[in-house]
Structure 1
């Protein structure tokens, strides 16, 4: 298998493509914050208002086919993919009655495969440690609450925090700009594009990730060592046990940003 690269819109990535995604165990947790989401919504609204007929490019998605799990591991693009999945849930729970059948289908199928109700057919699974919170509080239904401080209200759930932030930013921009939410949702799925790179191995994917990732933190040597060791474990139970032990040791030794190449 060769490295394949293609420009795909969000509809193709999350709705139409026969691909299901997951975050590999060695990846850092989802970490986008309020400022990242504000910038994302501002960029999307500006592009929609000023260059509606053109595509909006939002970065890369680097994948490896994990045949043992029947999903594609996301090596690069976790923050964007997670945030777009949360955004789809926010649109669903705020504006569903205002969406056309086409937009409704885009939103629902970006979260859950149309023909399967099983958990394995959720389009996107985050790190297993956080999946239950993500699934119960965001993917199934977001129960929005009026709170003064989102971080303090949901201190251990970054997904629910960001759902509330996206609600705030989206509602503000929609009202300020008098935007038709149905038209914006269709544009979001059809005109927001990513470079999707599918790699034959984790090694090639990590090399591409470190070349492309000029804004975030590249995988450290500790992350790469962990990935290499986990790759040799055949069963999911062994990988889970290894990951739990690794995280316990990492917490005790406090590797942090330590790099073997330093």
Structure 2
């Protein structure tokens, strides 16, 4: 029998996960839900979100992080669903488009990368910061990339976009110092997901070649495990920047292939 004086069960922690329709976003939303979080998973592709909801029980909302009206609707849904209090926002929405040198840059693709990775992160953070503050235990987690740390040939547009995200994380950490909000940056190296290289290269054969001979590239679940660890850590523990690579990858340009790692 439950004691009439027993303390009420603590409220589950709450999170918004952008880019949740596939890859690392989907894996992270599913992992947090399995850990007992209440998750609002958002992305543009609502059919994919419906599949995620059926599999995991998360709440979903169709959101385009490049559109202010869409992000305003997200803020309103957080107010309604979580009573205006939010414990974490995971900025997973992003992506790379194209592999041209600067001299042949597709500037429309550059703009798309900037709008999604950089302006999208800022837009969603601005909209949800009041709810993070209201919770008294907030975390902003930004998924950047090792592309934010070291340039590589034909990657300059993506390098620039991810470096922009990295600087947002650094600036936010300074701006929010003294408030109960952590700013966490996770920077993966080579991750094999179902869509990243395919979207970037537009060709399944070319996408597969990225991973030729690499027996164990990272998976979306590997990244989700690290993300969950960072968010489930005690609130006074802040993982400022975590760089994760597969064992076979020593740097962007240094990957062991066909060595049985």
* TM-score normalised by length of structure 2: 0.30
Q: Looking at both structures, which has the greater relative contact order when contacts are Cα pairs under 8 Å and sequence separation is at least 6?
A: 1
